[in-house]
Amino acid sequence: MNATDWKAIIISAVLLGLAALLPLSGSGYYLGLGITIAMFTVLATSWALFSGPTHYISLATAAFFGVGTYVTALGFEVLPLWALPLLAGIAGAVLAGLVGLATLRLSGVYFVIFTLGLAELVRQIITWSQNRSGQKGLYVLTDMTEAGIYWQLLALAGAVFLAGWLIGRSRLGFALRIIGDDETVAAHSGINTALAKVMLFMVSGGVASMVGAILAPRFVYIEPSLAFAPILSFQVVIMALLGGTGRLWAPMVGVIPFTFLLEAISANFPNQTTLALGIAFLVIVYVLPRGFVGLIEDTRTRMKKSGGSS
């Protein structure tokens, strides 16, 4: 590793350490906000690990998240809580692998539609199975505190950033960048494009399931409509695109301001949240196609060119 890599690692470690101090503030409101930001940071970053280099827009986050919540809901009475996120990660990765093998040969709108329908498919299966057993939902009653949930999400965020950093410097990361530029060229270059995409999709799905497992005790009562809410998938996509996908840390640039925006809208206009998401998506597509980070980089490039020409 060079000096720049060490600098990035040290800065990231310091920022994570500072963020870990939030529960010590004693403010329940800011801790709740911190949990939301940590949750979306992990989800948006793991989403960008796959969708950023491949340009495949996945709307399956809610499906993997919901699977994770049910792993905790079904297993917290027989397994230790610390093991459930790991088990959920395996379950999410396996589901992502199966879905990836079946769908990652699709492209464009077909892949988007299938991943959007995945959450609804899993939700309907769980609803049907619960109706047959006479259950409507599951209670998750544990002694896990809000601070404990926050620290778990923060640790997972650190692991995701480290994994993304390692992937970006690996042969897999190089292969995915070529796939994103031109998948046909990548295939003709000897890259197993299907395997590369499935592997990274499994990472993204596994992480989303771990987030669901960690947050399940916070929900207390788990039911399919809550666990597999489609709006979660759209929120993650919007936040990631708002920040940008060109840098590992870029999605977080979109997560933080958009979380505060959603908080304000939910408090003052609770019935207009979906409308706000739609408007935000249109603004990002037409005004910020490369997100805030892309806009900053484009501005710097223009300034350098204008400075050099003068």
State the pLDDT confidence band at 104, using cuts at 50, 70 and 90.
Answer: confident
Instruction: With beta carbons less than 8 A apart as the criterion, state whether 301 and 286 touch.
Output: no
pLDDT at 155 over 60: yes
Mean pLDDT over 182-201 rounds to: 80
More confidently predicted of 203 and 193: 203
Percent of residues, the chain, with pLDDT higher than 90: 36
| pLDDT for residue 242 | 86
Q: Where are the alpha helices (DSSP H) in the chain?
A: 3-19, 28-54, 61-75, 83-103, 109-133, 146-168, 171-181, 183-188, 193-219, 224-227, 230-243, 250-268, 273-287, 291-309
pLDDT class for 45, splitting at 50, 70, 90? very high
Position with higher pLDDT, 6 vs 160: 160
Residue of 16 and 204 predicted with greater confidence: 204
pLDDT for 154 equals 95
User: pLDDT for 133-144, tens place per residue?
Assistant: 777 788 999 989
Instruction: Return d(Cα 9, Cα 4) in angstroms, integer.
Output: 9
Average pLDDT over residues 146-155: 95
pLDDT score of 15 more than 70:
yes
Residue 289 CA to residue 261 CA, distance in Å, equals 19
How many whole angstroms separate alpha carbon 215 and alpha carbon 238?
Answer: 21
134 CA to centre of own chain:
33
Average the pLDDT over 199-224 and give the result: 94
Highest mean pLDDT among 59-63, 101-105, 180-184, 281-285: 59-63
308 pLDDT above the threshold of 70: no
Residue-level pLDDT at 169:
82
Give the least confident one: 229-238, 259-268, 282-291: 282-291
C-beta atoms surrounding 254 within 10 Å: 27
Mean pLDDT (the chain, rounded):
85
Least confident of 79-83, 109-113, 220-224: 109-113
For residues 125 and 158, give the distance between their C-alpha atoms in angstroms, rounded to a whole number.
33
What does the buried/exposed string (b/e) look like for 79-106 if buried means 16 or more CB atoms within 10 Å of the residue's CB?
Answer: eebeebbebbbebbbebbbebbeebbee
Provide the percentage of residues in the chain whose pLDDT is more than 70. 93
Going by pLDDT thresholds of 50, 70 and 90, the confidence category of residue 68 is very high
More confident residue, 155 or 254: 155
Give the domains, in start order, of the chain with CATH numbers.
Answer: 3-309 (1.10.3470)
Is it the case that residue 159 has pLDDT exceeding 60?
yes
Report residue 75 as tokens. Answer: 């297993």
pLDDT at 210: 97
Banded pLDDT at 120 (limits 50, 70, 90): confident
Read off the pLDDT of each residue in 37-64 and give the average, rounded to a whole number.
91
CA atoms within 13 A on the CB side of 96: 34
Whole-number pLDDT of residue 2 = 55
